[in-house]
Chains A and B, each alone.
Chain A
C-alpha cells in the first residue's frame, strides 16, 4: 500500500468524497469545541480527552465503514463515535453522566457505545481496545459476513505488549482487522521519541507481515484512500492492515486547556500544527477544486452548530440516573 497516490487520483478522490468527509470533520470539531467551551462550568464531571486537531482520521476511516462494522477506541474516543454515526444527543448526555447517556451515566467520557452504529466500546486502559478488536474480526471471519473490525489507538498503545501479540494473531489468522494508529507525538506529556526506539507503529506492523503505511493524518483524503484500500482487503478476506496517521492534538492530554504552560511542547510546534489544521486544509482544497463554495461550507457549520446546540441541551436536561441503576448490568 502506498502512502498517497498521484495528485490526479487524489483530486478525483477529493471530488467524490471530500464534502462528505468535511461534514463529519466539522461535526467533530464543533462538538469537541463545545465541550471545551462548557467544561469550565464543571457540569461535565468526567475527564475529557478532546480530539480537536485530529478530526481527519476518524472521519476518513469511518466513512469507509458500514454500520455493521465494529470499531473499538481509547480514552480519546469522541471523534470515533461521532464519525461512525453514534447518537449525538446520547454522547452529550453521557458527558453530563445522565441517564439518557449512551452508557447510562456509568461510563462517562471514556466509555461510550452505540451498538446500532457498531461503536462497540472504548477503554481507558492504553492499548486495551487493540486485542478486543481482534475478537470482533474473528467473529466476522468465522461468520463470513464480510464485516471489518477497526481498532483506534494512539502512539502510546504500540508500547504495550498486547499490541504486539495482537498484530501477530491478526496476521497469523488473517483477520479482517484494521489497526489505525493516531500518532499525535505525545502520550500525556511524554514525547514519542522518549518512549519508542522504533519509528512508529507502521514500521513494526510490517514485521508482522501486514501491509502498513504511515501517512499524513491531517490529510483526510489520504487517510480515506488508505482506509478504503485496507477495508477492501479485509472484506476480501485477505487479512489485516495497519495505518499510522501522523497528527496532533491541540488540547492538553486531558481537560479543556492547551497545556502549553506546562512546557512539554513548544509554542512553535503547536503553532505549526495549528496552521496545518485538517479541517481548514480540507475546506481550502474543496473550494479550490470547485467542489463547494464557502457559502456551502458555512451552511454546514450552521447546520452542525444547530445539532450540537440540540445535543448539549438534551444532555443537560437529561435526568440523573436513579440510584437503582447502580447495580444493573454488573
Chain B
C-alpha cells in the first residue's frame, strides 16, 4: 500500500487534526501549494505540470517556487497542448507517477476532452483494474471582469456525467489542502476545481499532512428550517444568506458539499429529512447540472420529507457575457439564495397547506 493510501485510509474517518491548536492561518492558494509541496516531498512520484506552473505568478501562488524547491524535472511548464498533455499525464500515472496537471482556467481543459473523457476516466475500468490512473487535474474557475464566455466556465456538472472521474471543489484553505492531498493519494483520476475568488481567503490550516476524505461534505452552519446545499464560491454566498436569514428568524443549515462526485448522499438526505426544504446553489449551469442531480436524488430518496420543490440556484442556460451589468444579471448570489428560501417558506405559509409555521 503506498504512503498516500495508508495515510488517507488512516485518516478517513477521523476528525481534522489541529482544529483546536493555536490557529495557523494560510490562504487558499498557500494551502494548495503546501499540499503539493508536502506530497512532492513525501513521494518522488508526485510531479506538477501545466502551462505557467513555473512562471513568476505560479498559478496565483498555488505552485509558486515548486520548480526551484523540487527541481525543473518535477515541476515544469508545458506547451499549449492540452490534449497531448492530458494523455501524457495518464501515461505517466499508468507508469507509476502521480501527476498533478494544472489548468489556469477550466475552459482550457476542454482542449484535452478526448484524453480526459475517453481515456483518463475509463482506463482503469477498461483494463478491469489492471491499470490505475492516479492523476489529479486542477482546474481554476472564476467570474467577473469581462472574462466572458471562454474564460469563466464552471463545468463540474458536465464532467459529473463522466463515469470514472471524481470531482472536488474545496472552499476553505483547510479543505483545499486536505482534499488536494486526498486527490493526489487517490488511485483514480480526480478533478480539483478551484474558484479564483477563494484564493486569497485565509483560514486555519494545520501544518501537518492530513486528508479530507473524498465524497464527504460538511455542515458549516447548523439550522432547522431549510437546507442550503452549495458548492465552491456559492458556499460563501450561502453563508452570507444564512446570516441575513437568521436576522429574519429563519434558521438555514449550510452544507459545503466539498465533493461534487461522489456526492455525500448521507449528509444531504439527513439534513433534508430534518428541514424538509432544500435550496441547491451551484457555481455552474442549472441545465442538466449538479443541482439537477442533487434535486433528482432528493426527489428519489427523500420525497416524503420534502415540504416544497427543491429550489435550484445556478447559472442560466446562457454563455457568460462580458459586460458587468450583464454579469450582474447572470451570476446568482446570496440574494438569489435568500429568494429561494423565501419561496419555499411562502409555500408553507400559504392557505390550504397542511403544515403550520416555518418550524411546523
Question: Are A and B physically bound partners?
Answer: yes
- B52, B107, B111, B316: the one within 8 Å of A188 (CB): B52
Chain B CB within 8 A of A298 CB: no
Q: Residue-by-residue, is B78-117 near A (CB-CB < 8 Å gives 1, otherwise 0)?
A: 1111111000000000000000000000011011000000
Give chain A's interface residues, CB within 8 Å of chain B. 45-47, 97-98, 103, 105-111, 123-128, 156-157, 159-161, 187-190, 194-196, 262-264, 320-321, 323, 325-327, 330
- Supposing A124-B150, A264-B55, A327-B318 touch, asked if A157 and B80 sit within 8 A by C-beta, the answer is yes
Instruction: Check B51–A97 contact: CB distance below 8 A.
Output: no
| A48 to B, closest residue via Cβ | B146
Instruction: Check B52–A189 contact: CB distance below 8 A.
Output: yes
Give the 9 A-B residue pairs with the shortest CB-CB distance, closest first: A46-B146, A108-B322, A105-B323, A97-B323, A159-B79, A108-B146, A124-B150, A262-B56, A195-B79
| B145 to A, closest residue via Cβ | A45
Instruction: Check A326–B326 contact: CB distance below 8 A.
Output: yes
Instruction: Check A123–B316 contact: CB distance below 8 A.
Output: no
Q: Residue-by-residue, is B232-256 near A (CB-CB < 8 Å gives 1, otherwise 0)?
A: 0000000000000000000000000
Chain A CB within 8 A of B207 CB: no
Instruction: Check A123–B52 contact: CB distance below 8 A.
Output: no
- Supposing A46-B322, A188-B51 touch, asked if A161 and B81 sit within 8 A by C-beta, the answer is yes
B residues in contact with A98, CB < 8 Å:
323
Interface of A is mostly: loop
Instruction: Check B107–A125 contact: CB distance below 8 A.
Output: yes
Instruction: Check A107–B148 contact: CB distance below 8 A.
Output: yes
Instruction: Check A189–B55 contact: CB distance below 8 A.
Output: yes
Instruction: Check A105–B321 contact: CB distance below 8 A.
Output: yes
Interface contacts beyond A103-B322, A161-B81, A187-B80: sample of 18 additional A-B pairs, CB < 8 Å, sorted by A: A46-B146, A97-B322, A110-B148, A110-B150, A110-B151, A111-B148, A124-B150, A125-B108, A125-B111, A125-B150, A126-B108, A159-B81, A160-B80, A187-B51, A188-B52, A188-B55, A320-B325, A330-B318
- A125, A127, A190: the one within 8 Å of B51 (CB): A190
Chain A CB within 8 A of B44 CB: no
Q: Residue-by-residue, is B308-332 near A (CB-CB < 8 Å gives 1, otherwise 0)?
A: 0000000011110111111001100
Q: Residue-by-residue, is B146-185 near A (CB-CB < 8 Å gives 1, otherwise 0)?
A: 1111110000000000000000000000000000000000
A residues in contact with B264, CB < 8 Å:
none
Docked Cα-Cα span, A159 to B82, in Å, equals: 9
Instruction: Check A106–B147 contact: CB distance below 8 A.
Output: no
Instruction: Check A321–B323 contact: CB distance below 8 A.
Output: yes
Instruction: Check A106–B80 contact: CB distance below 8 A.
Output: no
Instruction: Check A109–B146 contact: CB distance below 8 A.
Output: yes
Instruction: Check A326–B321 contact: CB distance below 8 A.
Output: yes
Instruction: Give 30 CB contacts A-B under 8 Å.
Output: A45-B146, A46-B148, A47-B146, A47-B147, A97-B146, A97-B323, A98-B323, A105-B322, A107-B322, A108-B146, A108-B147, A110-B148, A110-B150, A124-B151, A125-B150, A126-B108, A156-B80, A159-B81, A160-B82, A160-B111, A161-B81, A161-B84, A187-B51, A188-B55, A189-B52, A195-B78, A195-B80, A262-B57, A321-B323, A323-B326
Docked Cα-Cα span, A323 to B324, in Å, equals: 11
A residues in contact with B107, CB < 8 Å:
124-125
Instruction: Check A97–B81 contact: CB distance below 8 A.
Output: no
Chain B proximity of A164: nearest CB distance (Å)? 10
Question: Size of chain B's interface in residues, with CB distance under 8 A?
Answer: 36
Docked Cα-Cα span, A279 to B41, in Å, equals: 52
Instruction: Check A106–B326 contact: CB distance below 8 A.
Output: yes
Chain A CB within 8 A of B77 CB: yes
Interface residues of B in 281-317 (CB under 8 A from A): 316-317
Docked Cα-Cα span, A264 to B57, in Å, equals: 10
Chain A proximity of B152: nearest CB distance (Å)? 10
Instruction: Check A190–B55 contact: CB distance below 8 A.
Output: yes
| A123 to B, closest residue via Cβ | B150
| A324 to B, closest residue via Cβ | B329
A residues in contact with B111, CB < 8 Å:
125, 160-161
Docked Cα-Cα span, A101 to B119, in Å, equals: 42
Docked Cα-Cα span, A123 to B83, in Å, equals: 18
Among B52, B108, B148, B322, which residue has the most Cβ atoms of chain A within 10 A? B322
Docked Cα-Cα span, A103 to B56, in Å, equals: 34
- Supposing A111-B149, A189-B56 touch, asked if A160 and B322 sit within 8 A by C-beta, the answer is no
Instruction: Check A161–B83 contact: CB distance below 8 A.
Output: yes
Docked Cα-Cα span, A124 to B147, in Å, equals: 9
| A109 to B, closest residue via Cβ | B146
Q: Residue-by-residue, is B55-73 near A (CB-CB < 8 Å gives 1, otherwise 0)?
A: 1110000000000000000
Instruction: Check A194–B322 contact: CB distance below 8 A.
Output: no
Docked Cα-Cα span, A13 to B79, in Å, equals: 38
Q: Residue-by-residue, is B336-357 near A (CB-CB < 8 Å gives 1, otherwise 0)?
A: 0000000000000000000000
Docked Cα-Cα span, A127 to B80, in Å, equals: 9
- Supposing A125-B108, A161-B83, A188-B51 touch, asked if A327 and B148 sit within 8 A by C-beta, the answer is no
B residues in contact with A320, CB < 8 Å:
323, 325
Chain B proximity of A51: nearest CB distance (Å)? 18
Docked Cα-Cα span, A126 to B111, in Å, equals: 10
Docked Cα-Cα span, A189 to B80, in Å, equals: 12
Instruction: Check A327–B316 contact: CB distance below 8 A.
Output: yes
B residues in contact with A126, CB < 8 Å:
80, 108
